[in-house]
Amino acid sequence: MSGPQPETKRGRKGIAVGTLLMAASVLALLRPAPVFAQETELRGEVSESAILADQQRKARQLRAQGSQDQAAQTAQAADDQTLANPYQPESPGAVPDDDQPAGAAASIFDQPQAADDPFADNQTPARPRRPSTARLRAADAKTKSDTKAADKQKVKKKPGHATDSTVSTASTAATGDKAAPAATDDDGANRRAVTIDSVDRQKLDPGAERTGSIDGQKVKPEDDPFAAPGIKVGTFVFRPTLEQGFTATSNADGSSGGRPAVLSETALRFSATSDWRENSAVIDGYGLFRNTLSGQKINDARGRIEGQLNVDLDHELRAIAKLGYEAAPESASSPDAIAGVTSQPLRQTVDGSLGIEKDVGKMRYTLTGAVTHDFYGDAKLSDGTVLSQKDRDSTLYSATLRTGYQVSPAITPFAEVEAGRRIYDLRFDSNGFERSSTRLGARAGLELDMDEKLSGEFSVGWLREAIDDDRLPANAGPYVNADLKWSPERGTIIGLTGRTTVESTTTAGQSGDLLYSGRLTGERQVRANLTANSALGLDWRDYTGSDGHDLILSAEAGLTWWLNRYAGLTTRVRTEKLTSNLAGRDYVANSVYLGLKVQR
């Protein structure tokens, strides 16, 4: 009986301890506590409104972090205590919340705090989730005032350099610092949507210095600030020039019997250049009108218009087409001038050509066909009668073949042959001579292409036109042609032109003559608005079938002073002298011109 008694006592003690533990557990479970499961990641689906409210709260917290105001810091600390463990998404790449303390983890097994007891006497009342609007406005005003004060202490930088605030803002955004999202414009923006261009969408700092403008850059001066700007007409750039002035001359018509006069001269010149991508076209023209104000009676007009079209064809072929028209009265110094007339007959010329060019290696081939038609108006005699000039109308057909070899891109020697036929509208002239003729020529020359330094060509050879009438000798002689431009320095252009012309005639018993014309011109840009020009001329006329000849010398100098880009004053002086071994042909003419030139 006495043996098992101790074991009974120990069993009873164990039962008592177990009962106490069970009672303590029941009391612990019956104690009220907040439902921590609602703040953990174990909760179910969350509504969109809850997520949006959470994002807005975090944006307000980030704005409060950038403020130096003590009240804003207090509001931030209060917001951080509202929830210990807010909702965190589980999607890959999600950005962790900055308001989650490192290493903090909520659990339902955490020891309840005294503040969690709703029945505690010293419980701190819960703060609202949204801080007051007045406090936020005060924080923003404080931040702006501090920013302006800091900007005033900055050292001024050169134009075009970024300010310190700009650099710091860009650096913060680039390094992903937490302060960068605080500069977002929208209060409720999603901080997880910050992209690489977020810094571009930030508000401008009103205290930052402005970057230097492009207008302040040094502009390259124009090569010719007084050149005509031109007018855009379709696909062409049209540049017209009008010149009006007065000429005082000692020989109004440039003849052996010419008298002094004061003339009004009006000159209209224009050029039109295409603005095409591949092919090109150029149109040039001029018109000159003279009327007597006092002295010898002069009332004439002359002009010319010509165009050129360049077209690239297949198989490395290039086509060059030209067309022109010219009208001018017969010169009083011409061998065919008619004496005793009130006005010389009007000579009109229509000319055109078509050329095909092809390059084969370094060989250059060009075939050109040309047509020139001359027709004359009637001459009005001083007695009132009219003298027909139809027997002088003629058409010249010609073909020229040129072959060249390109020694270098700058030098290309060439040789060419020419064959043609001149046909008069009337087989026999008024004196019974058959004036039609056959044309043959050969020459050699050199093409130069050194960009703006030296360009053009010159050639020499022999030319012959055999007249169908056996009673008349052929017009034959050396042939010279030149068209060169040389620029020894910028602003200076020297030109040399030469031409050989067969001048036919219907004078009884005469075949005509060969006229050699040469011009040496110079143009110098003294200043941007002052241009000087000069010219020297030499003409030699050799009469066929006789030893008669004419020598014509001329010189000219002029200045143009541009008032602006569109108007300028121009003046020139000119002298011309003809010396001949034929009677009644010598003359001297001197003239001075002053006028106004306008251009567009």
Tens digit of each residue's pLDDT, the chain (600 residues) = 444 444 455 556 667 666 777 766 656 555 554 444 444 444 445 556 666 777 777 777 776 665 545 555 555 555 555 444 555 555 555 555 444 444 444 445 444 444 444 444 444 444 445 555 555 566 666 665 665 555 555 444 444 444 444 434 434 434 444 434 444 444 444 555 555 555 556 666 666 666 655 555 566 666 778 888 899 999 999 999 999 999 999 999 888 888 999 999 999 999 999 999 889 999 999 999 999 999 999 999 999 999 999 999 988 899 999 999 999 999 888 888 888 787 889 999 999 999 999 999 999 999 999 999 999 998 888 888 888 899 999 999 999 999 999 999 999 999 999 999 999 999 998 889 999 999 999 999 999 999 888 999 999 999 999 999 999 999 999 999 999 999 999 889 999 999 999 999 988 889 999 999 999 999 999 998 999 999 999 999 999 988 999 999 999 999 999 999 999 999 999 999 999 999 889 999 999 999 999 999
Instruction: Label residue 333 exposed, middle or buried (CB < 10 Å: 0-12, 13-18, 19+).
Output: buried
Q: How far apart are CA 138 and CA 146, in angstroms?
A: 12
Q: How far apart are CA 442 and CA 418, in angstroms?
A: 6
Q: How far apart are CA 380 and CA 321, in angstroms?
A: 37
Q: How far apart are CA 82 and CA 95, in angstroms?
A: 21
Phi and psi angles of residue 16, each rounded to the nearest 5 degrees, phi first: -65, -45
* pLDDT for 551: 96
Tokens 């003849």 belong to residue? 255
Which residue in 419, 412, 511 sits closest to 468, CA to CA?
511
SS3 63: helix
Query: Which two structure tokens, joined as six digits, stand for 37?
Result: 């499961």
Question: What is the DSSP code (8-state) at residue 408?
Answer: B
Question: What is the DSSP code (8-state) at residue 192?
Answer: G
Q: How far apart are CA 94 and CA 85, in angstroms?
A: 16
Tokens 């007045």 belong to residue? 134
**Domain ranges, ordered by start, for the chain:** 36-89+113-121+129-155+162-207
Residue 368 in contact with residue 399, Cβ under 8 Å?
A: yes
* pLDDT for 174: 40
DSSP state string for 95-128: PPPTTSPTT----TTSPPPGGG-TT-TTPPPPPP
DSSP H stretches of helix in 86-236: 133-152, 164-175
Q: How far apart are CA 436 and CA 425, in angstroms?
A: 9
* pLDDT for 490: 86
Predicted TM-score (pTM) of this structure: 0.64
Other CB atoms within 10 A of residue 571 CB: 14
- 466 contacts: CB under 8 Å, gap ≥ 6: 437, 438, 440, 474
Residue 173 in contact with residue 180, Cβ under 8 Å?
A: yes
Residue 303 forms beta bridges with which residues?
Answer: 287, 327
Distances 43 to 36, 39, 85, 203 between C-alpha atoms, Å:
10, 8, 12, 39
- HSE-CB for 103 with a 13 A CA cutoff: 0
